[in-house]
A = this chain, B = another copy of it.
Amino acid sequence: MQSVTGSATREIFKLLSKPEIISFAGGLPANECLPTEAVARISNELLVSAEGKAILQYGTTEGVATLRTELVKYATSEGLKATDSELMVLSGGQQGIDLFIKTFCNKGDVVLVENPTFLAFLQVASSYGARCVGVKSDDKGLDITDLEAKIKEYKPKALYVVPTFSNPTGKTYTAERRKAICEVTAKYGIMVLEDDPYSRLRWTGDRVSPLKTFDKTGNVVYVTSFSKLISPGLRVGFCIGEEEVIRKMTIGKQCADLHTSNLSQAIVREFLRGGLLEPHIKKAVPIYQKRAKTMLDCLAEYMPKNFEYTKPEGGLFVWGEFKDKTNTVQKFEQAITNNVAYIQGQVFYADSSGLNTLRLNFSNADPEKIERGVKALGKIFGK
Protein backbone atom coordinates (compact mmCIF):
# COMPACT_ATOMS: atom_id res chain seq x y z
CA MET A 1 0.00 0.00 0.00
CA GLN A 2 2.93 2.37 0.58
CA SER A 3 3.32 2.92 -3.13
CA VAL A 4 -0.19 4.35 -3.48
CA THR A 5 0.69 7.99 -3.01
CA GLY A 6 -2.01 9.99 -4.66
CA SER A 7 -5.70 9.60 -4.64
CA ALA A 8 -6.75 11.61 -7.65
CA THR A 9 -10.19 10.05 -8.10
CA ARG A 10 -11.08 10.81 -4.48
CA GLU A 11 -9.87 14.39 -4.77
CA ILE A 12 -11.90 14.76 -7.94
CA PHE A 13 -15.06 13.67 -6.15
CA LYS A 14 -14.37 16.30 -3.49
CA LEU A 15 -13.97 19.00 -6.14
CA LEU A 16 -17.25 17.97 -7.69
CA SER A 17 -19.06 18.86 -4.50
CA LYS A 18 -18.48 22.62 -5.08
CA PRO A 19 -21.68 23.68 -6.82
CA GLU A 20 -20.13 26.54 -8.84
CA ILE A 21 -17.68 24.22 -10.64
CA ILE A 22 -18.64 22.95 -14.09
CA SER A 23 -16.97 19.60 -13.90
CA PHE A 24 -15.74 17.66 -16.89
CA ALA A 25 -13.49 15.78 -14.47
CA GLY A 26 -15.66 12.92 -13.25
CA GLY A 27 -17.16 9.92 -14.94
CA LEU A 28 -20.63 10.20 -13.49
CA PRO A 29 -23.74 9.16 -15.38
CA ALA A 30 -26.35 11.87 -15.95
CA ASN A 31 -28.60 12.40 -12.93
CA GLU A 32 -31.49 12.41 -15.42
CA CYS A 33 -30.65 8.77 -16.20
CA LEU A 34 -30.81 7.51 -12.61
CA PRO A 35 -34.06 5.57 -12.26
CA THR A 36 -35.12 6.60 -8.74
CA GLU A 37 -38.80 5.79 -9.14
CA ALA A 38 -38.26 2.34 -10.59
CA VAL A 39 -35.72 1.49 -7.88
CA ALA A 40 -38.07 2.80 -5.17
CA ARG A 41 -40.90 0.63 -6.44
CA ILE A 42 -38.70 -2.44 -6.93
CA SER A 43 -37.05 -2.19 -3.48
CA ASN A 44 -40.38 -1.85 -1.78
CA GLU A 45 -41.89 -4.80 -3.66
CA LEU A 46 -38.86 -7.01 -3.05
CA LEU A 47 -38.62 -6.35 0.66
CA VAL A 48 -42.29 -6.98 1.43
CA SER A 49 -42.25 -10.12 -0.75
CA ALA A 50 -41.44 -13.65 0.40
CA GLU A 51 -37.84 -12.91 -0.67
CA GLY A 52 -37.50 -10.01 1.80
CA LYS A 53 -35.83 -12.00 4.58
CA ALA A 54 -33.34 -13.60 2.18
CA ILE A 55 -32.40 -10.14 0.87
CA LEU A 56 -31.60 -8.88 4.36
CA GLN A 57 -29.86 -12.14 5.40
CA TYR A 58 -26.28 -13.18 4.50
CA GLY A 59 -25.84 -14.24 0.88
CA THR A 60 -23.30 -16.23 -1.10
CA THR A 61 -20.03 -14.76 -2.34
CA GLU A 62 -20.70 -15.66 -5.99
CA GLY A 63 -23.86 -13.57 -5.92
CA VAL A 64 -27.63 -14.04 -5.68
CA ALA A 65 -28.43 -17.18 -7.73
CA THR A 66 -31.42 -15.63 -9.51
CA LEU A 67 -29.31 -12.62 -10.53
CA ARG A 68 -26.59 -14.90 -11.84
CA THR A 69 -29.17 -16.68 -14.00
CA GLU A 70 -30.22 -13.33 -15.49
CA LEU A 71 -26.58 -12.31 -15.97
CA VAL A 72 -25.85 -15.48 -17.93
CA LYS A 73 -28.76 -14.57 -20.25
CA TYR A 74 -27.62 -10.95 -20.50
CA ALA A 75 -24.04 -12.02 -21.27
CA THR A 76 -25.34 -14.40 -23.95
CA SER A 77 -27.23 -11.53 -25.57
CA GLU A 78 -23.89 -9.67 -25.69
CA GLY A 79 -22.27 -12.59 -27.48
CA LEU A 80 -20.50 -13.84 -24.36
CA LYS A 81 -20.84 -17.50 -23.57
CA ALA A 82 -20.71 -18.24 -19.85
CA THR A 83 -21.99 -20.98 -17.62
CA ASP A 84 -23.11 -20.25 -14.08
CA SER A 85 -19.70 -21.20 -12.67
CA GLU A 86 -17.87 -18.92 -15.11
CA LEU A 87 -19.56 -15.79 -13.78
CA MET A 88 -19.52 -13.93 -10.48
CA VAL A 89 -21.22 -10.82 -9.14
CA LEU A 90 -18.99 -7.90 -8.12
CA SER A 91 -19.46 -4.84 -5.90
CA GLY A 92 -18.96 -2.62 -8.94
CA GLY A 93 -16.48 -3.01 -11.79
CA GLN A 94 -13.73 -1.56 -9.56
CA GLN A 95 -13.85 -4.72 -7.45
CA GLY A 96 -13.23 -6.81 -10.57
CA ILE A 97 -9.98 -4.93 -11.17
CA ASP A 98 -8.96 -5.28 -7.53
CA LEU A 99 -9.68 -9.01 -7.37
CA PHE A 100 -7.98 -9.69 -10.70
CA ILE A 101 -4.75 -8.02 -9.61
CA LYS A 102 -4.93 -9.47 -6.10
CA THR A 103 -5.48 -12.96 -7.45
CA PHE A 104 -3.07 -13.09 -10.37
CA CYS A 105 -0.27 -10.58 -9.75
CA ASN A 106 2.49 -10.62 -7.18
CA LYS A 107 4.70 -7.78 -6.02
CA GLY A 108 7.14 -6.82 -8.76
CA ASP A 109 5.08 -8.35 -11.58
CA VAL A 110 4.63 -6.29 -14.73
CA VAL A 111 1.18 -5.55 -16.12
CA LEU A 112 0.84 -4.07 -19.60
CA VAL A 113 -1.68 -1.29 -20.16
CA GLU A 114 -2.61 1.01 -23.00
CA ASN A 115 -0.80 4.32 -22.62
CA PRO A 116 -2.96 6.18 -21.46
CA THR A 117 -5.29 3.92 -19.44
CA PHE A 118 -7.90 4.02 -16.65
CA LEU A 119 -6.35 5.84 -13.69
CA ALA A 120 -7.89 3.56 -11.05
CA PHE A 121 -6.26 0.54 -12.68
CA LEU A 122 -2.83 2.14 -12.25
CA GLN A 123 -3.66 2.81 -8.59
CA VAL A 124 -4.85 -0.73 -7.87
CA ALA A 125 -1.84 -2.28 -9.59
CA SER A 126 0.43 0.01 -7.60
CA SER A 127 -1.34 -0.91 -4.34
CA TYR A 128 -0.29 -4.55 -4.89
CA GLY A 129 3.23 -3.62 -5.93
CA ALA A 130 2.70 -4.49 -9.60
CA ARG A 131 4.43 -2.30 -12.19
CA CYS A 132 2.46 -0.95 -15.14
CA VAL A 133 4.16 -0.63 -18.51
CA GLY A 134 2.43 1.28 -21.30
CA VAL A 135 1.81 -0.10 -24.80
CA LYS A 136 1.43 2.20 -27.82
CA SER A 137 -1.88 2.53 -29.56
CA ASP A 138 -3.47 4.27 -32.52
CA ASP A 139 -7.04 4.91 -33.67
CA LYS A 140 -7.66 1.19 -34.24
CA GLY A 141 -6.51 0.12 -30.78
CA LEU A 142 -3.36 -1.33 -29.24
CA ASP A 143 -0.32 -1.50 -31.50
CA ILE A 144 0.14 -5.26 -31.85
CA THR A 145 3.83 -5.04 -32.78
CA ASP A 146 4.57 -2.97 -29.69
CA LEU A 147 2.41 -5.30 -27.59
CA GLU A 148 4.42 -8.33 -28.67
CA ALA A 149 7.70 -6.47 -28.18
CA LYS A 150 6.69 -5.43 -24.65
CA ILE A 151 5.59 -8.98 -23.85
CA LYS A 152 9.01 -10.24 -24.90
CA GLU A 153 10.85 -7.49 -23.04
CA TYR A 154 8.91 -7.44 -19.76
CA LYS A 155 7.41 -10.96 -19.50
CA PRO A 156 4.25 -9.45 -17.99
CA LYS A 157 1.65 -11.35 -15.98
CA ALA A 158 -1.30 -9.60 -17.59
CA LEU A 159 -2.62 -7.02 -20.00
CA TYR A 160 -5.39 -4.57 -19.04
CA VAL A 161 -7.56 -2.96 -21.73
CA VAL A 162 -10.76 -0.91 -22.03
CA PRO A 163 -11.45 -1.74 -25.68
CA THR A 164 -14.77 0.06 -26.16
CA PHE A 165 -15.17 3.84 -25.59
CA SER A 166 -11.98 3.67 -23.58
CA ASN A 167 -11.45 5.52 -20.37
CA PRO A 168 -9.77 7.99 -20.88
CA THR A 169 -9.69 8.30 -24.67
CA GLY A 170 -13.21 7.36 -25.77
CA LYS A 171 -11.65 5.26 -28.56
CA THR A 172 -12.78 1.78 -29.63
CA TYR A 173 -10.56 -1.08 -30.77
CA THR A 174 -11.45 -2.68 -34.10
CA ALA A 175 -12.51 -6.34 -34.26
CA GLU A 176 -9.22 -7.15 -36.04
CA ARG A 177 -7.17 -5.69 -33.21
CA ARG A 178 -9.23 -7.51 -30.60
CA LYS A 179 -8.62 -10.78 -32.42
CA ALA A 180 -4.90 -10.01 -32.67
CA ILE A 181 -4.70 -9.11 -28.96
CA CYS A 182 -6.29 -12.45 -28.08
CA GLU A 183 -3.90 -14.31 -30.37
CA VAL A 184 -0.68 -12.69 -29.19
CA THR A 185 -1.56 -12.89 -25.49
CA ALA A 186 -2.65 -16.52 -25.87
CA LYS A 187 0.63 -17.29 -27.68
CA TYR A 188 2.66 -16.07 -24.70
CA GLY A 189 0.22 -17.22 -21.99
CA ILE A 190 -0.58 -13.71 -20.77
CA MET A 191 -3.87 -13.11 -18.97
CA VAL A 192 -6.04 -10.24 -20.21
CA LEU A 193 -8.47 -8.16 -18.18
CA GLU A 194 -11.09 -6.63 -20.48
CA ASP A 195 -12.89 -3.78 -18.73
CA ASP A 196 -16.16 -2.98 -20.49
CA PRO A 197 -18.34 -0.54 -18.56
CA TYR A 198 -19.34 1.73 -21.46
CA SER A 199 -20.07 -0.38 -24.56
CA ARG A 200 -23.87 -0.28 -24.19
CA LEU A 201 -23.78 3.53 -24.38
CA ARG A 202 -23.34 3.63 -28.18
CA TRP A 203 -25.23 6.19 -30.30
CA THR A 204 -23.54 5.74 -33.66
CA GLY A 205 -21.30 3.37 -35.57
CA ASP A 206 -21.30 -0.41 -35.57
CA ARG A 207 -21.17 -2.47 -32.42
CA VAL A 208 -17.89 -4.37 -31.94
CA SER A 209 -18.01 -7.67 -30.06
CA PRO A 210 -16.21 -7.85 -26.73
CA LEU A 211 -12.57 -8.91 -26.89
CA LYS A 212 -13.58 -11.91 -24.78
CA THR A 213 -15.59 -13.26 -27.74
CA PHE A 214 -12.27 -13.71 -29.63
CA ASP A 215 -10.71 -15.58 -26.71
CA LYS A 216 -9.90 -19.17 -27.75
CA THR A 217 -7.75 -20.27 -24.81
CA GLY A 218 -9.64 -18.82 -21.84
CA ASN A 219 -6.96 -16.26 -20.96
CA VAL A 220 -9.38 -13.28 -21.00
CA VAL A 221 -11.35 -12.13 -17.95
CA TYR A 222 -14.26 -9.87 -18.85
CA VAL A 223 -15.54 -7.34 -16.31
CA THR A 224 -18.50 -5.02 -16.65
CA SER A 225 -20.79 -3.02 -14.42
CA PHE A 226 -24.28 -1.59 -14.13
CA SER A 227 -22.90 1.71 -12.81
CA LYS A 228 -23.38 3.52 -16.12
CA LEU A 229 -26.52 1.60 -17.11
CA ILE A 230 -28.63 1.66 -13.93
CA SER A 231 -26.82 3.27 -10.99
CA PRO A 232 -23.26 3.55 -9.67
CA GLY A 233 -24.56 4.08 -6.13
CA LEU A 234 -25.83 0.49 -5.96
CA ARG A 235 -22.33 -0.95 -6.70
CA VAL A 236 -23.14 -3.97 -8.88
CA GLY A 237 -21.02 -5.43 -11.63
CA PHE A 238 -20.02 -8.89 -12.77
CA CYS A 239 -17.16 -10.72 -14.40
CA ILE A 240 -16.74 -13.72 -16.65
CA GLY A 241 -13.77 -16.03 -16.90
CA GLU A 242 -12.68 -19.65 -16.88
CA GLU A 243 -14.21 -21.63 -14.02
CA GLU A 244 -10.88 -21.89 -12.20
CA VAL A 245 -10.25 -18.15 -12.58
CA ILE A 246 -13.69 -17.30 -11.19
CA ARG A 247 -13.20 -19.76 -8.34
CA LYS A 248 -9.99 -18.02 -7.30
CA MET A 249 -11.48 -14.55 -7.62
CA THR A 250 -14.46 -15.71 -5.54
CA ILE A 251 -12.11 -16.66 -2.70
CA GLY A 252 -10.60 -13.19 -3.02
CA LYS A 253 -14.05 -11.61 -2.84
CA GLN A 254 -14.97 -13.67 0.19
CA CYS A 255 -12.01 -12.11 2.00
CA ALA A 256 -12.77 -8.64 0.65
CA ASP A 257 -16.46 -8.14 1.45
CA LEU A 258 -18.06 -11.58 1.81
CA HIS A 259 -20.70 -10.65 -0.77
CA THR A 260 -22.30 -7.72 -2.61
CA SER A 261 -25.36 -6.05 -1.08
CA ASN A 262 -28.26 -8.44 -1.69
CA LEU A 263 -30.66 -5.52 -2.07
CA SER A 264 -28.52 -3.98 -4.83
CA GLN A 265 -28.25 -7.37 -6.53
CA ALA A 266 -32.00 -8.01 -6.40
CA ILE A 267 -32.71 -4.54 -7.83
CA VAL A 268 -30.42 -5.20 -10.81
CA ARG A 269 -32.01 -8.62 -11.28
CA GLU A 270 -35.46 -7.02 -11.50
CA PHE A 271 -34.20 -4.58 -14.14
CA LEU A 272 -33.03 -7.57 -16.18
CA ARG A 273 -35.92 -9.94 -15.44
CA GLY A 274 -38.61 -7.32 -15.82
CA GLY A 275 -37.25 -6.07 -19.14
CA LEU A 276 -36.59 -2.61 -17.72
CA LEU A 277 -32.91 -2.39 -18.65
CA GLU A 278 -33.15 -2.19 -22.44
CA PRO A 279 -35.79 0.60 -22.60
CA HIS A 280 -33.86 2.45 -19.90
CA ILE A 281 -30.65 2.31 -21.98
CA LYS A 282 -32.61 3.39 -25.07
CA LYS A 283 -33.77 6.49 -23.20
CA ALA A 284 -30.34 7.27 -21.76
CA VAL A 285 -28.22 7.01 -24.91
CA PRO A 286 -29.73 10.03 -26.75
CA ILE A 287 -29.08 12.15 -23.63
CA TYR A 288 -25.39 11.23 -23.76
CA GLN A 289 -25.32 11.67 -27.52
CA LYS A 290 -26.66 15.20 -27.23
CA ARG A 291 -24.14 16.11 -24.56
CA ALA A 292 -21.28 14.63 -26.57
CA LYS A 293 -22.37 16.53 -29.67
CA THR A 294 -22.61 19.78 -27.70
CA MET A 295 -19.13 19.24 -26.33
CA LEU A 296 -17.62 18.41 -29.72
CA ASP A 297 -19.33 21.41 -31.33
CA CYS A 298 -18.08 23.69 -28.57
CA LEU A 299 -14.55 22.30 -28.73
CA ALA A 300 -14.53 23.10 -32.47
CA GLU A 301 -15.76 26.61 -31.76
CA TYR A 302 -13.87 27.62 -28.64
CA MET A 303 -10.62 25.67 -28.44
CA PRO A 304 -7.42 26.64 -30.23
CA LYS A 305 -6.38 25.03 -33.51
CA ASN A 306 -3.53 23.11 -31.91
CA PHE A 307 -5.99 21.16 -29.73
CA GLU A 308 -6.90 17.78 -31.25
CA TYR A 309 -9.56 15.55 -29.75
CA THR A 310 -11.36 12.24 -30.20
CA LYS A 311 -14.90 11.97 -31.56
CA PRO A 312 -16.31 9.01 -29.63
CA GLU A 313 -19.25 6.97 -30.89
CA GLY A 314 -20.43 6.33 -27.33
CA GLY A 315 -19.34 6.27 -23.72
CA LEU A 316 -18.60 9.21 -21.46
CA PHE A 317 -15.30 10.75 -22.52
CA VAL A 318 -13.53 12.98 -25.02
CA TRP A 319 -9.74 12.94 -25.00
CA GLY A 320 -7.77 15.99 -26.01
CA GLU A 321 -4.16 16.61 -26.94
CA PHE A 322 -2.34 19.89 -27.54
CA LYS A 323 0.02 19.69 -30.46
CA ASP A 324 2.37 22.19 -28.78
CA LYS A 325 3.95 22.31 -25.31
CA THR A 326 0.74 23.35 -23.53
CA ASN A 327 0.92 21.83 -20.04
CA THR A 328 -2.50 20.77 -18.71
CA VAL A 329 -1.11 20.12 -15.23
CA GLN A 330 0.10 23.72 -14.93
CA LYS A 331 -3.17 25.08 -16.33
CA PHE A 332 -5.36 23.14 -13.90
CA GLU A 333 -5.38 25.72 -11.11
CA GLN A 334 -6.38 28.43 -13.55
CA ALA A 335 -9.24 26.24 -14.72
CA ILE A 336 -10.49 25.71 -11.17
CA THR A 337 -10.27 29.46 -10.54
CA ASN A 338 -12.49 29.86 -13.60
CA ASN A 339 -14.90 27.24 -12.24
CA VAL A 340 -14.24 24.56 -14.79
CA ALA A 341 -12.58 21.20 -14.12
CA TYR A 342 -10.98 18.59 -16.37
CA ILE A 343 -8.54 15.79 -15.63
CA GLN A 344 -4.91 16.30 -16.49
CA GLY A 345 -4.13 13.53 -18.95
CA GLN A 346 -0.82 12.77 -17.24
CA VAL A 347 -2.51 10.75 -14.47
CA PHE A 348 -3.62 8.16 -17.04
CA TYR A 349 -0.09 7.43 -18.25
CA ALA A 350 1.88 4.57 -16.74
CA ASP A 351 5.05 6.61 -17.38
CA SER A 352 3.61 9.98 -16.23
CA SER A 353 3.98 11.42 -19.71
CA GLY A 354 1.06 13.08 -21.51
CA LEU A 355 1.56 16.54 -19.98
CA ASN A 356 -0.13 18.01 -23.07
CA THR A 357 -3.30 15.91 -22.74
CA LEU A 358 -6.60 16.09 -20.87
CA ARG A 359 -9.79 14.08 -20.40
CA LEU A 360 -13.21 15.68 -20.66
CA ASN A 361 -16.38 14.04 -19.41
CA PHE A 362 -19.62 15.19 -20.98
CA SER A 363 -22.21 12.95 -19.31
CA ASN A 364 -22.82 14.82 -16.06
CA ALA A 365 -23.39 18.39 -17.28
CA ASP A 366 -26.34 19.65 -19.31
CA PRO A 367 -25.70 21.21 -22.75
CA GLU A 368 -25.91 24.78 -21.42
CA LYS A 369 -23.26 24.06 -18.79
CA ILE A 370 -21.13 22.21 -21.32
CA GLU A 371 -21.08 25.29 -23.53
CA ARG A 372 -20.17 27.60 -20.64
CA GLY A 373 -17.49 25.18 -19.47
CA VAL A 374 -15.84 24.69 -22.86
CA LYS A 375 -15.97 28.47 -23.43
CA ALA A 376 -14.06 28.88 -20.15
CA LEU A 377 -11.55 26.24 -21.28
CA GLY A 378 -11.13 28.14 -24.57
CA LYS A 379 -10.13 31.26 -22.66
CA ILE A 380 -7.74 29.36 -20.40
CA PHE A 381 -6.04 27.57 -23.26
CA GLY A 382 -6.02 30.72 -25.35
CA LYS A 383 -7.92 30.38 -28.59
Contact = CB atoms under 8 A, between A and B. Distances in A.
Interface of A: 1, 4, 7, 9-10, 13-14, 26, 28-29, 31, 34-37, 39-41, 43-44, 46-48, 52-61, 91-92, 94-95, 98, 102-104, 107, 120, 123-124, 127, 227, 230-235, 248, 250-252, 254-264
Nearest to A265: B233
A108 to B, nearest CB: 11
A202 to B, nearest CB: 22
16 contacts: A1-B103, A1-B248, A1-B252, A7-B251, A9-B254, A13-B60, A31-B53, A31-B57, A43-B43, A43-B47, A91-B91, A92-B257, A124-B255, A234-B261, A256-B257, A261-B264
Nearest to A267: B263
A138 B14 CA distance: 48
A256 to B, nearest CB: 5
Contact of A1 (B26, B102, B227): B102
A264 to B, nearest CB: 5
Nearest to A5: B251
Nearest to A105: B1
The number of times this chain is found in the oligomer is 2
B47 A39 contact: yes
A10 B250 contact: yes
B48 A255 contact: no
Given A40-B47, A235-B260, A263-B264, A7 B57 contact: no
A40 B28 contact: no
Contacts of A264: 261, 263-264
A258 B48 contact: no
Nearest to A258: B94
A256 B255 contact: no
Given A1-B103, A7-B251, A40-B52, 10 more contacts: A13-B58, A13-B61, A35-B56, A43-B47, A56-B231, A56-B233, A91-B261, A123-B254, A233-B261, A263-B264
Contact of A58 (B37, B54, B233, B254): B233
Contact of A261 (B61, B103, B235): B235
A106 B110 CA distance: 19
A92 B4 CA distance: 23
Contact of A263 (B9, B102, B104, B233): B233
A10 B35 CA distance: 33
A43 B41 CA distance: 9
B255 A120 contact: yes
A11 to B, nearest CB: 11
State the 6 A-B residue pairs at the shortest beta-carbon distance, nearest first: A40-B47, A36-B52, A233-B262, A56-B231, A43-B43, A34-B56
A104 B1 CA distance: 8
Contacts of A251: 1, 4, 7, 10, 127
Q: Which of A26, A54, A124, A255 counts the most B-chain CB atoms under 10 A from its CB?
A: A255
Nearest to A34: B56
B60 A34 contact: no
Contacts of A9: 254, 258
Contacts of A34: 52-53, 56-57
A227 B257 CA distance: 12
A256 B35 contact: no
